Amino acid sequence: MSEKKQGGGRKVLYMVFSVIVAVILWTYVVYIDNPTVENPITVSGIEVEFTGEETLRDNGYIVSDIDVNRLNIAFGGRIREVTQLSRENVRAVVDLTDIFNYTSPTGTHSLNYELVYDIRASSITVENASRTVIEVTVERMVTQTILLQPVYNGSIAQNYMAGTLSLNRDTVEISGTESAIENIDKATVTLKRDNLSETVTQEENIELYDAEGNLIDMEEAGLTFVNSNGKAMITQTILMIKDVPVRIDIVEGVTATDANTRISYSVPYITLSGDPEILEDYNEINLGTVDLKSFATTWEEECQVRIPNNTTNESNVSFVTVTITVANVATRRLSAGNITYRNASDNDVVSIITQSLDITLRGTNEEELQAVTSDYIRIVADLSDYAGTRGTCQVPARVYVDGFSNVEAVGDYKVTVIIADASAQ
């Protein structure tokens, strides 16, 4: 058993020794003798790089297409250098300014490339390559002004509506090849917000689309924005929608009050849209004021709808018919001749021409209404607004019913008078 173990140990030592000798021999061959490789070593996927792009642009040209962007190259040379090659330390560099050696810079040109090594490569040779030249298509670079279109992509909160959608600029300048520019169908700026209830303004990217609605990759298409960061401010105004009731005010009388007066409207409310700050606290559209003593039992009229500035009448109703009815009253016509005047100027001499007026009486008690006679009625013409007026005038008059608390005169009355100058008498 001991002899067998000793024999096995000798074999292991022999194998270790053989490996050490092989490593030493390989090290000697590679690093000391360094022979040439017997078969070329291929490096795949070597990246093609370009220089001179800025020079092309400065002269109004741009690369629109290249036929290949990676190469496969078989290298020969000293084994120590060739074995270090990889696509990470080898580049194929094309100088684009070589196109100016051609009669016309535009078109497709076959350009040479130079291999650049990031390692020591004094003995390296190119034995074979997938491409010996790079075909580059060059076009003249053009600049075009494109109209910008604002787009809102979102939703509006309940009781609100979208107003105007606008941009802080109307156009954008884009530079690129003529074919790439012609491929642009539209340029948009999109605002994406949901449940909006107030006006919003924010900066968004300018996006380009072709005629089929596909988003254009500007880098891939070789397009650039001129004097722009490729963004624009977009504003979506939001308007409040509100149903605002209409209302007419009344001046109560003795026999007509809010309690026995019925008011109806042909349109009970108007739908308005506008700035939320305006409409939020706007709760009534006033149609005017009616004196309940100006009519007997029924008043009906078309009243104009007036709305706040900077709002819109979405109902498109300009007039509302208002009907006012006084209930539980009786009326009676009576002629009266007790006519006087008041508020005449000191320099005026007034002569009353009207001898009597037919008066309409309204009362809540029929018996009391019938008891009124002309002796209880006074007609007083008011000359407040006629100071200095000369000649014959019709002036407003107020009718008083004395002694009856549930009866009043209704309607509008005028009295004819002659006003003369006291100094001329």
Structural domains in the chain plus CATH codes: 41-132 (2.170.120), 141-239 (2.170.120.40), 240-326 (2.170.120.40), 330-424 (2.170.120.30)
What pLDDT shows up at residue 13?
A: 64
Contact 71, 131 (CB under 8 A): yes
pLDDT, tens only, 59-84: 989 888 899 999 999 999 999 899 99
Interval 35-66: pLDDT, tens: 888 899 999 999 999 999 999 988 989 888 89
Longest dimension (CA), the chain: 171
Q: What is the strand order of the sheet 41-51 is part of?
A: 114-117, 90-95, 41-51, 70-76, 125-129
pLDDT of residue 319: 98
Number of CB atoms found within 10 A of residue 424's CB: 8
Tokens of 292: 């309940």
Task: Work out the mean pLDDT of the chain and round it to a whole number.
Answer: 91
Q: What is the mean pLDDT of residues 295-308?
A: 96
Reading the block at residue 263, the tokens are 């008011």
DSSP state of 105: S
pLDDT over 90 at 25, yes or no: no
pLDDT greater than 80 at residue 386: yes
Query: What is the rounded average pLDDT of the residues 182-189?
Result: 96
Q: Is the pLDDT of residue 20 over 70?
A: no
Percentage with pLDDT > 90 across the chain: 82
> Does 96 score more than 80 pLDDT?
yes
Contact 379, 336 (CB under 8 A): yes
CB 290 within 8 A of CB 248: yes
Residue 37, pLDDT score:
84
The torsion defined by the Cα of 197, 199, 204 and 208, in degrees rounded to 10, comes to 90
Residue 22 has pLDDT above 60, yes or no: no
pLDDT tens digits, 118-130: 998 889 999 999 9
In the chain, DSSP finds a helix count (H) and a strand count (E) of 7, 28
pLDDT tens, residue by residue, 120-163 = 888 999 999 999 999 999 988 899 999 999 999 999 999 999 99
Q: Pick from 146, 201, 151, 204: which is nearest to 176 by CA?
A: 146
**Residue 18 confidence (pLDDT) above 70:** no
- pTM metric for this prediction: 0.62
Determine the pLDDT at residue 157.
Answer: 95
Over range 340-369, report the average pLDDT. Answer: 94
For residues 281 and 277, what is the distance between their CA atoms, to the nearest angstrom?
Answer: 8
Q: Residue 332 has what pLDDT?
A: 96
Cβ atoms 305, 352 nearer than 8 A: no
The three-state secondary structure class of 15 is helix
pLDDT for 14 beyond 70: no
pLDDT tens per residue across span 215-260: 999 988 889 999 999 999 999 999 999 999 999 999 999 999 999 9
Question: pLDDT value at position 387?
Answer: 87
pLDDT over 90 at 33, yes or no? no
Summarize the confidence of residues 105-124 as an average pLDDT: 93
Whose CA is closest to 227, among 143, 151, 116?
143
